[in-house]
Each structure stands twice: as C-alpha cells, then as structure tokens.
C-alpha cells in the first residue's frame, strides 16, 4: 500500500461490518452503494461483501471490504439496488466495525482506528436515515527496525433524520460521508538509549538515599528530643 498521502488516487480499503439485528429487511434487498467526487457511482456493490440472514431472514448482517479513492465521497447501506422497494424499510442497526487500511495491532497505541465500533442505533426512529460524517486521518507506524505500516484513524459525527421530497418520504439509508485530513499522524517506536536507562537508575538510587537520609534525620531528632525530656524529668 502506498504511504497515506503519497498518491491521492491510491485506494483506501474500508472494512465494514453492520448488523441490522432487528430490522425487517431481508438480505436480498440490502446493498452497498459507493459515490465520490471523481465520478464513481456504484449501486449494489457486491465484490468482497457478505450478507448473512438473521432472525429467520427478517434481518441481516452485512460485511464488506472494498476500495475507495482518496477524494471526498460516501458509501451507504440501503435498499436502492432492490428491484422492488420494501415498504417502510427499517434502518435501525449496530455497527460492529468500520476501519480503513491496514490493521495496526500495536501495544500502547490507542487511536481511533475503529471509532464507530459498537455504535448502537437499535432504538432510533426506524424510518430515519443515519448520517455518519467521517474525517479520515492518515496514520504511519514505524517500528524499531524502521519498517513502516500505513493505516487510517478517523473522527466521526452523526445525525439521524427523516427526509422528504415533493413526492413524499425519501427511502432511508445508512450513510458514511468521508473526507481525508491533510494532516498525517506518525507513531515511531524507539529503543531506550543506554544513557537514559543509567540516568533513570541513578535517579532512583539517589532518590532512595535522599528519602533514607530524611527519615534517619527525623528519627535522630525525635530520639534526641526524647532524651532531653527524660533528662528533664530526672532533675
């Protein structure tokens, strides 16, 4: 994969897992549509996607992996590709995962690589569309050997609404509208230099001796004061 900002036309690979657990939509009518500012417009994209029936076929789980260009655009889950539109399609859902690019499983990196994971809209208006506005942030991770891996984090804002036109209510959908941030985040893994390790050990030892000295001084002072008190009682 190209570096995140190296080639504006190099694709990003989103991985989407949406579970429409409670909606009365059969898998056959659910599809993925993709649009962008380069003129791409695909309805019912099916490559590398899977629709698994749930609730005896009344609902479905949608999983997909596809490429998008590094230009503003959107992809959305809808019934737009269905030959016969279902009446009052219900778009309540749970998003289990939405990630972009390579998966980074690195300890001590707690970025927003799956910011929408666990988003639950099962109690929302069943007739509403859902808009997720994503700002995708290119991310580079460089390990100790200098090898780099490229991924993407993202921030998200969302809203839900029931849309109407002059002909009536518009068919609801789950929209993911995205744009790429001009800023790249880089994580660099470095070995701790030997001198820093030695400095840390010396600081710990020095601190221990300092605390021990303070305690010894306090004990000595208290002991001397007690002796004076005892001598005063004897006289």
CA 134 – CA 138 distance, rounded (Å): 13
DSSP bridge partners of 18: 62, 95
User: Does position 194 have pLDDT exceeding 80, yes or no?
Assistant: no
Contact between 130 and 91 (Cβ < 8 Å): yes
User: Does position 209 have pLDDT exceeding 70, yes or no?
Assistant: yes
pLDDT band at 133 (very low <50, low <70, confident <90, very high): very high
The residue-averaged pLDDT of 190-199 equals 72
* Distance from the Cα of residue 9 to its chain's centroid: 23
Contact between 150 and 3 (Cβ < 8 Å): yes
Q: What is the pTM of this model?
A: 0.71
- The residue with greater pLDDT, 223 or 21, is 223
Which positions ≥6 away from 150 have C-beta within 8 Å?
1, 2, 3, 4, 101, 102, 138, 139, 140, 141
Which positions ≥6 away from 41 have C-beta within 8 Å?
33, 34, 35
The residue-averaged pLDDT of 92-96 equals 89
């Amino acid at each position: 994969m190209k570096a995140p900002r190296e080639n504006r036309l190099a694709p990003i690979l989103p991985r989407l897992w949406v579970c429409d657990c409670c909606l009365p939509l059969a898998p056959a009518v659910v599809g993925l549509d993709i649009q962008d500012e380069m003129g791409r417009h695909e309805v019912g994209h099916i490559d590398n996607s899977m629709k698994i029936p749930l609730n005896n076929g009344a609902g479905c789980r949608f999983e997909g992996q596809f490429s998008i260009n590094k230009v503003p655009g959107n992809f959305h889950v809808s019934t737009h590709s269905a030959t016969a539109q279902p009446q009052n399609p219900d778009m309540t859902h749970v998003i289990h995962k939405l990630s972009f690019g390579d998966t980074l499983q690195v300890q001590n990196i707690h970025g927003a690589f799956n910011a929408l994971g666990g988003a639950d809209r099962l109690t929302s208006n069943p007739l509403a569309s859902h808009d997720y506005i994503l700002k995708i942030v290119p991310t580079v991770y460089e390990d100790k050997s200098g090898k780099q891996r490229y991924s993407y984090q993202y921030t998200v804002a969302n809203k839900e609404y029931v849309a109407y036109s002059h002909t009536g209510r518009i068919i609801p959908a789950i929209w993911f509208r995205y744009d790429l941030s001009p800023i790249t985040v880089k994580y660099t893994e470095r070995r701790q230099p030997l001198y820093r390790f030695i400095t840390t050990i010396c600081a710990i030892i020095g601190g221990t001796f300092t605390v021990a000295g303070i305690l010894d001084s306090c004990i000595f002072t208290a002991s001397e004061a007690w002796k004076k008190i005892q001598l005063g009682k004897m006289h």
